[in-house]
Amino acid sequence: MRIFAATSRYVQGPAALEALGQHARALGQNAFVVTDADMAKLLGERVEASFAAADMQASIRIFPGEITHAAIESLAAEARAFAADVIVGLGGGKALDTAKGVALKLGARSVSVPTIASNDGPASAAIAVYDDNHIMQDILHLPRNPELVLVDTQVIANAPVRFLLAGIGDAISKKFEAEACAAAGAHTLLGTPASLTGLMAADTCYRILREHAVAAVAAVREKRVDAHLEALVEATVLLSTISFENGGLSLAHALARGFSYLERARGTLHGAHVAYGLLVQLAMEKRDDAFIGELCDFYREVGLPTQLQDFGLDQPTSAEIRQLAASSMESPSVKRFAPPVQAAQLEQAIERVQRLTATA
């Protein structure tokens, strides 16, 4: 058996925000919008105008900042009182996941409007729930992917470039993770072997990043939308998600889990962790130095991290490297790799990446 899952409508372009109501209208009447204070101020009026033009009722609510079970519960009560049938997340990953959590509680339709392209979350059915210390507690799943994902590329171009870099990091691993997952005979998050469509998406995602990332990053530094950025955003927001849900994850994402326990790496982004995690995965795959070195050259050109020093760990200690390896072992993605992984091998792979990138 194979299962393919994805959003049913993806809309992307400059000024796409003006078309939000028009596309959401097919899903319901009352839109409950979950966002943060900055986005409410920056985009709230445009969002309200777009729903009004589509004859929909809209209510914009500010979420508390961290996605916890308590935050989801309290917003769900407000959404119920509003008789919401469409729940819209507007903002970064936490606002979007909170909105998905509310949609799950209400059994309502889910819409994602990411204002940064920093990860593969917006189009995904997965909802990462944290505790107040930002340690991941739970992963919940919507019964279906968000029905609508709408990305205004001018909004993405106006956001700080570090977010786009993280999105590239979260996407660049997908081809290698899908291939490793398939080689291990492991299943995707849908519980089946990868579909050909999932593997194709992962491969295409990687090719688009290699072709357009450098130019797209340059465009965002100038807050400019061009064809390179359009291509890159489609890869990081749509293909990256199709890849991991339908192709499977592996060691790069296991390493990303490990990073959340590294005290000195606090505040650095998931996508940056994944980018580094991919280098470790390639070391575990026993790729030769030239292969890893070529990818590192590309990382440097784009602005992605190649060593632990890039996460604020100047002179990472062997205890930190051991901890990164050990906590990565807690991720279920560590099992989507063959042969079976031991913490000591991960530790050696991290050390190999550190040696390789130090001499470059």
Q: How far is the CB of 270 from Zn ion (least distance, A)?
A: 6
Q: How far is the CB of 209 from Zn ion (least distance, A)?
A: 14
- What residues have CB less than 8 Å from 313, skipping those under 6 apart? 262, 264, 265, 320
Closest-by-Cβ residue to Zn ion is 170
Ligand-binding annotation for 295, yes or no, is no
DSSP three-state, residue 244? helix
User: Phi then psi for 191, rounded to 5 degrees?
Assistant: 85, 15
**How many Cα atoms occupy the beta-carbon half-sphere of 257 within 13 Å?**
21
How far are the Cα atoms of 137, 265, 299, 345 from residue 280, in angstroms, in the given order?
Answer: 25, 17, 14, 10
Q: How far is the CB of 142 from Zn ion (least distance, A)?
A: 17
Ligand-binding annotation for 36, yes or no, is yes
Residue among 85 and 97 whose Cβ is closer to Zn ion: 97
Residue among 170 and 310 whose Cβ is closer to Zn ion: 170
Ligand-binding annotation for 272, yes or no, is no
Q: How far is the CB of 124 from Zn ion (least distance, A)?
A: 9
Question: What are the strands, taking DSSP E only, across the chain?
Answer: 9-13, 30-35, 57-62, 86-91, 109-114, 126-130, 136-141, 148-152
- Binding residues for Zn ion restricted to 255-274, rule: CB under 5 A: none
Q: How far is the CB of 4 from Zn ion (least distance, A)?
A: 19
Ligand-binding annotation for 270, yes or no, is yes
- Binding residues for Zn ion restricted to 132-171, rule: CB under 5 A: 170
Ligand-binding annotation for 93, yes or no, is yes
Q: How far is the CB of 83 from Zn ion (least distance, A)?
A: 34
The two structure tokens encoding residue 307: 């060593």
DSSP three-state, residue 145? coil
How many Cβ atoms sit within 10 Å of the Cβ of residue 49? 15
Residue among 104 and 252 whose Cβ is closer to Zn ion: 252
Q: How far is the CB of 272 from Zn ion (least distance, A)?
A: 11
Ligand-binding annotation for 275, yes or no, is no
- CB-CB contact of 250 with 184 (8 Å): yes
97 binds Zn ion (CB under 5 A): no
- Between CA 173 and CA 244 the distance in angstroms is 10
- Between CA 284 and CA 303 the distance in angstroms is 23
Residue among 172 and 341 whose Cβ is closer to Zn ion: 172
- Between CA 354 and CA 308 the distance in angstroms is 7
Ligand-binding annotation for 359, yes or no, is no
Residue among 59 and 236 whose Cβ is closer to Zn ion: 236
The two structure tokens encoding residue 23: 């596309």
Q: How far is the CB of 119 from Zn ion (least distance, A)?
A: 5
Ligand-binding annotation for 117, yes or no, is yes
Residue among 170 and 234 whose Cβ is closer to Zn ion: 170
Task: Return the closest-CA partner of residue 96 out of 150, 59, 45, 155.
Answer: 150
Ligand-binding annotation for 120, yes or no, is yes
Ligand-binding annotation for 203, yes or no, is no
Site size toward Zn ion (CB under 5 A) is: 1
Residue among 27 and 149 whose Cβ is closer to Zn ion: 149
Residue among 170 and 320 whose Cβ is closer to Zn ion: 170
- What residues have CB less than 8 Å from 198, skipping those under 6 apart? 4, 178, 188, 242, 243, 245, 246, 247, 248
Binding residues vs Zn ion (CB under 5 A) = 170
Binding positions are 36, 93-97, 115-118, 120, 124, 130, 170, 253, 270
Binding positions for NAD(+) are 36, 93-97, 115-118, 124, 130
Binding positions for glycerol are 120, 170, 253, 270
